[in-house]
Structure 1
């Protein structure tokens, strides 16, 4: 059991805070196994029970791990010339996912900082890993797609109609902004994050299920 960082985009951070995101999928990156051919895993390699130990070494996040969430952020403007690792812990942070800037009497936010550069002390969300499954990306179910935090836009598209349900179409070239099935919505989200052709590539992924605790990892419950 290990404490690890994990990065999320603004919309996914908001889904975590809203309690609508309890899963994430990350591409498994093999590390030079002799059984690899042209850089990809064959079905026989991945599914062979004898390779469970090898798979565990390639799946970075494991059951029992705690994950502290990194997200886009701003430190106080006075630290604009300071590396994130050199900003003293406990200083004010503005989280980009929150949308509005700080109140007028609050600190003045400095330059935009990428999620990958957020120090551990600035994290506000902790995830407790409950399950990890190795599967193809397109094996995702409707229930899993919803658990990924896709946005339900039914009220915007068909207000008052309880017989219909619509989900956001993310940036994949769609013209109408919504789809009528969760997997289609998630496929467009995956494409937005990972680029054209990434959904069609159908890579092996680690499907991680977790519980969300809205606090710094040092205040979170033990693994």
Structure 2
């Protein structure tokens, strides 16, 4: 089983576990030709070829179940017998294991939560729709005062700064998560839709 990491600083792991985040974009290191083939520019291309290129370039595939990485310390809850997960993990890896505080080093099979990939596609980052921004974890809310008026606003998780559109908020989020200038560079991205299965 593979694992996937979401940003904790901006509440994205929590958004996945709460079912508020059901999509993620990952920068695709692919050629222009592969992008054109995968994005449907060549509709006459054999479906088998397109699927082969997608499978050989994508980290995750449709139907695959992937562990949501959390540090061992953050793996709460209990198993079917009522034993706390941290006790089970601690007995297997020890409290001093590198994964105890850093989810980069955890074993996927010890993670209590998994997602199933339901769709994979390729697009340019800036082609994200407003609806997809919300699937990425952007929060729709309001700003203003009851004395004047409320207006719709969009927020990056764990931030109080309102933005006028979902894309404005997502632009800030992706630059914080993937590095300044990511939005402006408009890279090819794999778009993974998923559902929480455990």
Question: The TM-score by the shorter chain falls in which range?
Answer: 0.7 to 0.9
Question: Could you tell me whether the CA contact under 8 Å between 1:90 and 1:121 is conserved in 2?
Answer: no
Alignment match, 2:66: 67
User: What do residues 118-140 of structure 1 show as CA deviations (whole Å, max 9, x unaligned)?
Assistant: 22243122111111111111111
Q: How many residues align?
A: 172
Please, which runs of 5 or more residues in structure 1 have no aligned partner? Answer: 31-35, 76-87, 94-107, 216-223
| Deviation sequence 1:168-216 (CA, Å, 0-9, x none) | 2579xxxx82202111111111000111111111111111111112x3x
Matches within 5 A, 1:1-223: 3-10=1-8, 11-30=11-30, 36=31, 41=32, 44=36, 46=38, 47-48=41-42, 49=45, 52=50, 53-74=52-73, 90-92=88-90, 113-154=101-142, 157-158=143-144, 164-169=151-156, 177-213=161-197, 215=198
The residue number in structure 1 matching 2:78 is none
CA contact (8 A) 2:138 2:157 kept: no
Distance 1:45 1:211 in 2: 27
Query: How far apart, in 1, do the equivalents of 2:6 and 2:166 lie?
Result: 20
Aligned CA distance change for structure 1 residues 71 and 152 (closer, same or farther; 3 Å): farther
Change (3 A) 1:178 1:163: closer
Give the TM-score normalised by structure 1. 0.65
Q: Secondary structure at the match of 2:26?
A: strand
Structure 2 gap segments, 5+ residues each? 75-85
CA deviation after TM superposition for structure 1 residue 109, in Å = 9.4
Q: Is the 8 A contact 2:115 2:196 kept in 1?
A: yes
**What SS does the aligned partner of 1:179 have?**
coil
Q: In 2 relative to 1, CA 130–45 (structure 1 residues): closer, same or farther, beyond 3 Å?
A: closer
> Structure 2: how far apart are the matches of 1:110 and 1:5?
18
TM-score by length of 2: 0.72
Instruction: List 4+ stretches of structure 1 deviating above 4 A.
Output: 42-46, 108-112, 159-163
Root-mean-square deviation over aligned CA pairs: 3.3
Which SS does the other structure have where 2:2 is aligned?
A: strand
CA separation in 1, counterparts of 2:111 and 2:149? 38
Contact 1:170/1:192, CA 8 A, preserved across alignment: no
